[in-house]
Amino acid sequence: MNRLKCLITFFLLIFMHGITFGVITRSYAYTIRIKNIKLIRVVGPSTINLVINTSIAGSSIMSATFARDSSSYLQMTSIVPENVQRRIIVTAKDGAIPTGMKLELSAGECFTGLGDLGNVKISPVPLEVNIGKDLITGIGSCYTGTSGYRLTYSFGPDPNYVGTIMFNTQNYVSIVYTLTE
């Protein structure tokens, strides 16, 4: 019986030793990868309609007839690599701007979202076919939220070429926004 007690005590001591001092350390290596994200979209009507109009005889075509539309918004999500800034380039494509006319675009400040939302151009950007122009620069990692940058299109006579304007019922052009480094 004493031999049995001794045996049990021996095993208990070994077991308790294992609990108290047998700390096993294991290391796991995790690689967390944040994807390089650059997504933009424009929300608003399917087509922007801009129609100039004047009804006062003798009045300047330049001042009274600018057509404006501010019904669309630019939204984006961007995650940039370290020390990288992005910009949004805007280009007119697949069409033409009527002779003697100007098509300008401006982006309002973005009041929603978080992060490094960049800097919008203060002056309206005159659009030219197949020529990319900066609309927003200095974009870092950010998201605009569900509102975004309010886009304002402005269509009217170019003061230097008023005499070349011609009546034109339809003139399409595609405005392409590109988020790029």
Partner 1 sequence: MNTLYSTLLLVFLMMTSYFGVYCQNEGNVAKLPVLMSIPPVATLSLAGDSLNFSIKGKGTSQVITPNFAGTTWLNYTSVVEENSTNLISANLTTVDLPAEVIIKLKVGMATGAGYGQKGVSVGTITLSNYPQTIITNIGTCFTGQGANMGHQLNFQWVLHPNYDEDLLKEYNLKDLKVGVTYTISRND
Using CB under 8 A, list all residues that contact partner 1: 38-62, 67, 72, 74, 97-98, 100-101, 103, 153, 155, 162-180
Residue tagged 């800034």 (tokens): 85
Cβ atoms of 131 and 96 within 8 Å: the answer is no
Nearer to partner 1, 120 or 165 (CB): 165
Nearer to partner 1, 110 or 165 (CB): 165
Minimal distance, residue 139 CB to partner 1, in Å: 11
Cβ atoms of 156 and 65 within 8 Å: the answer is yes
Q: How far apart are CA 158 and CA 144, in angstroms?
A: 33
Nearer to partner 1, 18 or 81 (CB): 81
Nearer to partner 1, 117 or 175 (CB): 175
CA distances from 35 to 30, 113, 142, 143 (A): 16, 19, 13, 14
Minimal distance, residue 58 CB to partner 1, in Å: 3
Cβ atoms of 140 and 86 within 8 Å: the answer is yes
Q: How many residues does the chain have?
A: 181
Minimal distance, residue 102 CB to partner 1, in Å: 10
Going by C-alpha positions, the residue among 28, 4, 142 that lies closest to residue 86 is: 142
Nearer to partner 1, 13 or 95 (CB): 95
Minimal distance, residue 33 CB to partner 1, in Å: 19
Minimal distance, residue 30 CB to partner 1, in Å: 28
HSE toward the beta carbon, residue 169, CA cutoff 13 A:
0
